[in-house]
Structure formats: structure tokens, C-alpha cells
Structure 1
Amino acid sequence: MSARPAAAARRPAAAPGTGRVRHGARSEHVYRRLRDAIHEGRFKSGHRVMENEVADWLKVSRTPVRDAIRRLEAEGMLEHAPRNGLVVARLDRQAVMELYVMRETLEGTAARLCARHASDMELLDLAELVERERQIQGDPEAVARHNRRFHEAIHRGAHNRYLEKSLAAVNDSMWLLGKSLMLLPHRAQAALDEHARIVEAIHRRDPDAAEEAARRHVRTAQRERLKRLFPESDS
């Protein structure tokens, strides 16, 4: 008599929901890969995104691809184009300016609240982040990654969950603008000085100065971004 049926009988049944977990993990993987491709400029504005091509690229079925695409569409990173299907969203100059207006408002508010509510440990962390940023100047990729950590630390220090959610949504849209400005040496150095001023104001528990420093930081980034995206325009 074959031992296979007995072995099969001893095999534990899959835990309830296991298939859904695996599917969710695959969808998240596809979502992150597509988002990275948009952020890194491999999928530029107007690039047509097709389920079958993404599935072939990532060696997955079309179901997690479909879920990831729906999520990116809901976040505004993908849009329907006449006669072209689903494409990476296009942002004209006005849309970019509107996006930066929102970012300036939210980042300014985050810095203001951080100056009021950050713990002593969070203040120490911010000072250490500025010092670390100073040490990695000259490594553009490291500076770009560190820039995200710096801003997220201020967002957490604001201690406002709804503000954090709003900032996360705006930052998702920022991915449509292409590669980080921190990859530019002159911008990385300027941002370091701007970050230091923001943290100095937060350490003084000066909400007005912290907000103004954060707003000025975003406005400077906006001018640089507009100059690079729309060189023919006077920004």
C-alpha cells in the first residue's frame, strides 16, 4: 500500500486566509515595484501601463497587477488617457504648483506642531539626523533616502495622525515628479542648510520660525523643480 495518502493525511491544512495573505503580499510587491519605476523615471509621464506587460515583467499573474494598478489609479499616479488606456499621470505646470502649495502648507504645519509637541528624544533624533545628513554629503543616493527619513521624523514629531495621512498622500503624488532633487549636489547642500534651520527653530520651541523655515524650504524646492520640468517657462 502506498504511503503517499497517509503522508497527505498528516499534512496540516492551510491556515484560513493564507491564500489571501499571499495574494496581498504579491499585490503589495507589484505596487511598490510600479511606484518605484514611476519615481525613478523608468515609467515617465504618459507611459502606457498594461496588465499583461507588467505581469510578464514581474513574473506574476494578472490579478495582483490589477489590484496594484487600481491602487495607483486611486492615488492619482495613473490615469485614463483617450485612445491610450491607462498611463502614468501627466502633471502640467499648474498641477505641479498646486501640489507644492499643498506640500508647503502641510510641511509648514508639521514643523509648527513639531516645535510644540515633539518629545526631548524626538528633538535629539532630529539633531542627529541633521548631523548624519552632513556626513553623507557627496553620496546622492544616500542623501535622497535620508531626506525622506528627515521629513518623516518631523511628521511623527507633530503628533497628529491626520496630518501624517495627508502628508503621505501628497508625498505619493510627489513621486510623479521624477527623481529626487537631492541627487543634485547643489540642491543637497542647500537642503542641508535649510533642514538645519528648521531643526534649530524646533529646538527653540518656536512654532512661527519652524513653520516659516519649512515653508521656505518647500518654496525653494518648488522653484528648482519647475525650472527642471518646464525650462521654457519663467518660474
Structure 2
Amino acid sequence: MSDTGKSTHSSGEAAYASLIEALRSGEFAPGDRLREEDVAKRLDLSRTPVREALRRLENNGIVEHRPRIGAVIRKLSRTEIVELYEMRIVLERTAARMAAQHGSEAEFDALDHMNARILDAQDTPTLGAAINHDFHEALYRAARNRFLLASAEAINNTLILLGPTTYLDPDRIRIVVSQHGDVTTALRQRDGDLAADAAEAHLQTSLRYRLKGMST
């Protein structure tokens, strides 16, 4: 590949990563239109890598192209949200069970540390949500299975489409921290079944909050 090709590819990766981060932080939200020139200006990039990044987001089902409008961030329907959580539960039960077998005490310490940071960030919901994302990613990494991790990454990208965080409710944060604690306790006990059940209970609660938010 030529230096120009490598540069374009690198810029495209940077544009994609920046767009993902902007979506996670709430800078862009489901339903927003993503005009190439506006995104390029905001990210301080040329339109070519931005176009590449938008195409990749479309391939991943995060952005859809609408006639006469252009690229728009998708909104998930109630049915799609339920289906998404069904898959999360399948994957996260597996991750928790495998992490109980393969994870290290240092990794479990890191999970507890992130959980404490979520509680400390209760006055900054977006920060708490970002740490929560890191918590779940660390759980998958502790499972020591690259194919499981790849499947989780595809699901986690779609989570961006859920919209604003549910961490605006202080009670929600306390429940999250408590349920994360149930997961890490089971991991330390090396009880895979208990860890899997705790992970599922946590996601079922998360789904209930999501659906409740849609009905208000």
C-alpha cells in the first residue's frame, strides 16, 4: 500500500473512532443527521476519511442512508432493543462464566475499582456510563476468548443507538453498582454459574429501565 493509501486508511480509522466516541458521549444522538462537511469540520478532518467512516457506520447498522437526507443515526425500535438485550444476555452469561474460570485476581480488582468509580461519578452520568462500558469490556477480556470478545464488540457498538444514559436516576446507579458487585463476588468465588446468573440479572434490570424510559 502506498503512503497515501496508508494515510487515508489511518485518517478513516481516526474519523471512525472519533465518531464512535462522539456517539458514546452524546454529542451525536439517534435521529441526528450526519452531513459530511459538518462532521469533517467538527473532527478537523478532510471529507474523504469522514465519508469512509460514515460508510463503515452504515455497514455496521449504526447509520442509515435516507433519500434526499443523507446519513442519519438509526433509532432502535422497542422490539430491536429487546432483541439486542437478548443477545447481550447470551454473550455476557458466557463471558461471566468463562471469566470465573480464566480471570485473574488483578482483573477482578480492576472491575471493583471501576465499579467504585461509577458510584463516585453519580453526579456526572455520562462519565458513569463511560466507566460502565469499560467495566463490561473488561469482563469480556477476562474471559480470555477472542471470538467472544469480537462478538461483544459488534453488540457494544449497537448499544450506542440506545440513546441517552439511564444513569440520570441516582437509584439506577446504586442498583448498577450493587449488581456489578454481585458479579465480581461470584467471579472471586470462581463460581461460573453464579457469575452468569448475576450478569443476566444485571442486564434484565438494565432492559427494564430502557423500556421504562421509552414509555415516559
Pairwise same-fold verdict (TM > 0.5): yes
The residue number in structure 1 matching 2:35 is 50
Native 8 Å contact 1:39 1:177 kept in 2: no
Structure 1 residues 1-235: aligned runs within 5 Å: 17-231=2-216
Q: RMSD between aligned alpha carbons? A: 2.2
Which sits farther off after the overlay, 125-134 or 27-36? 125-134
Paired amino acid for 1:176:
L
Native 8 Å contact 2:63 2:72 kept in 1: yes
Unaligned runs of 5+ in 1: 1-15
Paired amino acid for 1:229:
M
Paired amino acid for 2:19:
L
CA distance in 2, matches of 1:129, 1:56: 34
Question: By how many angstroms is 1:70 displaced?
Answer: 1.0
- Cα 1:50–1:124 shift into 2, 3 Å: closer
**How many residues were matched structurally?**
216
Native 8 Å contact 2:95 2:148 kept in 1: yes
The residue number in structure 2 matching 1:9 is none
CA distance in 2, matches of 1:158, 1:199: 13
Question: By how many angstroms is 1:98 displaced?
Answer: 0.6
Native 8 Å contact 1:147 1:182 kept in 2: no
Question: By how many angstroms is 1:137 displaced?
Answer: 4.5
Percent identity, aligned pairs only, is 39
- Cα 1:59–1:153 shift into 2, 3 Å: closer
Report which of the two structures shows the higher radius of gyration computed on alpha carbons: 1
CA distance in 2, matches of 1:96, 1:136: 26
CA distance in 1, matches of 2:198, 2:37: 47
- Cα 1:149–1:38 shift into 2, 3 Å: closer
CA distance in 2, matches of 1:132, 1:39: 18
What are the superposed Cα offsets for residues 104-157 of structure 1, whole Å, 9 maximum, x if unpaired? 111111111111111233233334444444555544344223212221221111
Paired amino acid for 2:195:
A
